[in-house]
Amino acid sequence: MTALAGSPSTTDGWSLHPDRALPAEPGVRAIARRILDTTEHLPIVSMHGHVEAALLADDEPFPDPAALLVTPDHYLVRMLVSQASAPGAVRDAGVRSAGDLGVAREGEQATETDPRAIWRRFCAGWTALRGTPTRYWLEHVLTQVFEAPAPPSEATADALYDHLADRLARPEYRPRALFERFGIELLATTDAATASLSDHAALAADGWGDRVIPTFRPDPLLEPARADWPDQLAALSVASGVDAHDYDGFLEALRERRRAFVRAGARASDHGHLSADTTPMPPAEARRLFDVARRGGAEAAASAAFTAHMLFQLAEMSTEDGLVMQLHPGVLRDHDRGAAARFGPNVGYDIPVAIEFTRALRPVLEAFGHHPDFRMIVFTVDETVYSRELAPLAGAYPALRLGAPWWFLDSADAMRRFREATVDTAGLRNTSGFVDDTRAFCSIPARHDLSRRADAAYLARLVAEHRLDLEEAVDSASDLAYRLAEDSYPALTEARR
């Protein structure tokens, strides 16, 4: 997969099997290969992720292999830290915390700052990644992007580091060159509601404004029990030019920021709270609760109720400005509060929790589920709700689509389970297309490759069981790999901009 023009699929000493992640049964595998042949070189539409616009606006060379592939990858970091007490090379390499892999809280220094030492620890821990999607993605990145001569290990660590460092010094490995090489047609970043969007403006000035677009992420502003909520209100006031310190001003400031994002090319908003609740409250009660929170009196239950109310308000705003509303609840952030305090968010172990959608989404779907200008895409890390709640909801409300298997579910087996649990009720076209949800820029083509292979495998089984014709399966594969992502996140008309 992936339009890696000029990149071999093999190297002198290391190759990937062309049928990786395809079915084991030879007849079904042959069908899957025919389907994959039609999708693996389609352009990539990456509509939800966390690559920062500054990476492409600055277009500077990546500093070193560890800074590119190890330190920012929280999947990898948490797995190696989890092995700290296990026997073997990882323990002996001295990975006791994220700091040993170069992670540092802003303004502080990591425990380890030598990139080669960090790389050696990663290579020593390579066996801990066996069977994981992280291993799959990294194998793809190392062989297809960087032509690595051998897999990571204690024995190959230094030679592999030197090989990668040599590649990173070349102009064809800078971010914009790789963007072209990966075949990325469109990349959406995820940006705080208070972001200046200056990097997006710089990209637009360079002619990249239609290729790298922002996504509106207001989460901290919707949770008044947060210790930094007063600071968030102040930042919103500055960014919007509207005083956000009373409830009505707060709503107008959010509308103004949404307008700024739309002008910058945004197609979606993004919301990742603990609950999916969208229950609105009377305006007078919302004003009262806002005022209580402003005085520092918001308790957890009241804060959660305000968040639910604001999700309803933002859904209504979506009917006005056209931003697609992405909702991905159900993750307890920073499970280890000590680690989060030391290393910041995303390194404190975000852990999934059970989530309820049927009642939680009822208010917003009753109000806007048939609205012609509303679109909501719902993601989950709780597989138990696929067939029981999400597929029936998506199979009923025109405004609702199911997001791709996300985060802990973006593995080949979980993608298969997703299709098996949802297609009977929601079909294929009530899904959003794949989103890679990654901070690791070089893994974008690897993640889309795995998704396309998993879908080819699923569709091949339907063909083998005479439930689809091959022609239909090929057409559906193109939907899932490319067309549905375009359709689920439509560009806004000039009138709305």
319-367 pLDDT tens trace: 999 999 999 999 998 888 887 777 777 677 889 999 999 999 999 999 9
User: In degrees, to the nearest 5, what angle opens at C-alpha 474 toward C-alphas 470 and 475?
Assistant: 120
The CA–CA distances, whole Å, from 83 to 91, 121, 339, 343 equal: 7, 12, 16, 18
The CA–CA distances, whole Å, from 315 to 38, 286, 309, 376 equal: 37, 16, 10, 8
Closest listed residue to residue 379, CA positions, set 357, 360, 403: 403
Residue 379, pLDDT above cutoff 50 = yes
Closest listed residue to residue 4, CA positions, set 212, 180, 185: 180
When pLDDT is averaged across residues 467-475 and rounded to a whole number, the result is: 98
* Cβ contact 36:452 at 8 Å: yes
The CA–CA distances, whole Å, from 474 to 266, 404, 429, 471, 489 equal: 31, 19, 14, 5, 22
When pLDDT is averaged across residues 443-461 and rounded to a whole number, the result is: 98
Residue 249, pLDDT above cutoff 90 = yes
Q: What is the DSSP letter of 301?
A: H
Q: In DSSP terms, which residues pair with 400 in a beta bridge?
A: 376
The structure tokens 């990325």 sit at 184
When pLDDT is averaged across residues 167-191 and rounded to a whole number, the result is: 98
When pLDDT is averaged across residues 416-439 and rounded to a whole number, the result is: 96
| Angstrom distance (rounded) from CA 114 to CA 102 | 8
Closest listed residue to residue 23, CA positions, set 411, 406, 413: 413
Residue 260, pLDDT above cutoff 90 = yes
**How high does pLDDT run on average in the chain?**
93
What distance lies between CA 308 and its chain's CA centroid?
Answer: 22
pLDDT of residue 393: 98
> Which residue ranges make up each domain of the chain?
61-173, 185-488
User: In degrees, to the nearest 5, what angle opens at C-alpha 43 toward C-alphas 459 and 326?
Assistant: 75
Residue 306, pLDDT above cutoff 90 = yes
Is residue 268 helix, strand or coil?
strand
| Angstrom distance (rounded) from CA 121 to CA 84 | 11
Which DSSP string corresponds to 10-41? B-SS-B--TTTTS-SSHHHHHHHHHHHHHHTT
Topology agreement, domain 61-173 and domain 185-488: no
Residue 92, pLDDT above cutoff 80 = no
pLDDT of residue 97: 85
When pLDDT is averaged across residues 398-404 and rounded to a whole number, the result is: 97
When pLDDT is averaged across residues 369-392 and rounded to a whole number, the result is: 97
User: Counting beta carbons within 10 angstroms of the beta carbon of residue 259, is it exposed (0 to 12), middle (13 to 18) or buried (19 or more)?
Assistant: middle
Residue 86, pLDDT above cutoff 60 = yes
pLDDT of residue 107: 60
Residue 109, pLDDT above cutoff 90 = no
Cβ neighbours of residue 358 closer than 8 Å, sequence gap 6 or more: 389, 393
pLDDT of residue 104: 82
Which DSSP string corresponds to 459-496? HHHHHHTTSS-HHHHHHHHHIIIIIHHHHHSPPPPTTT
pLDDT of residue 88: 63
Residue 403, pLDDT above cutoff 50 = yes
Pairing state of beta strands 324-327 and 268-271? parallel
pLDDT of residue 182: 98
The CA–CA distances, whole Å, from 20 to 272, 412, 444, 454, 462 equal: 33, 10, 17, 10, 19
For the domain with range 61-173, which CATH number is right: 1.10.2020.10, 2.70.170.10, 1.20.1250.20, 3.30.450.20?
1.10.2020.10
CATH 3.20.20.140 fits 185-488, yes or no: yes
Determine what percent of the chain falls in helix, strand and coil, rounding each to the nearest 5: 50, 5, 40
* Cβ contact 415:385 at 8 Å: no
pLDDT of residue 349: 84
Report percent pLDDT > 70 for the chain: 94
pLDDT category at 152 given cuts 50, 70, 90 is very high
pLDDT of residue 353: 94
* Cβ contact 406:328 at 8 Å: yes
pLDDT of residue 108: 67
The tens digit of pLDDT for each residue in 4-59 reads 333 334 445 799 999 999 999 999 999 999 999 999 999 999 999 999 999 999 99
| Angstrom distance (rounded) from CA 451 to CA 444 | 11
When pLDDT is averaged across residues 460-466 and rounded to a whole number, the result is: 98
Q: What is the DSSP letter of 400?
A: E
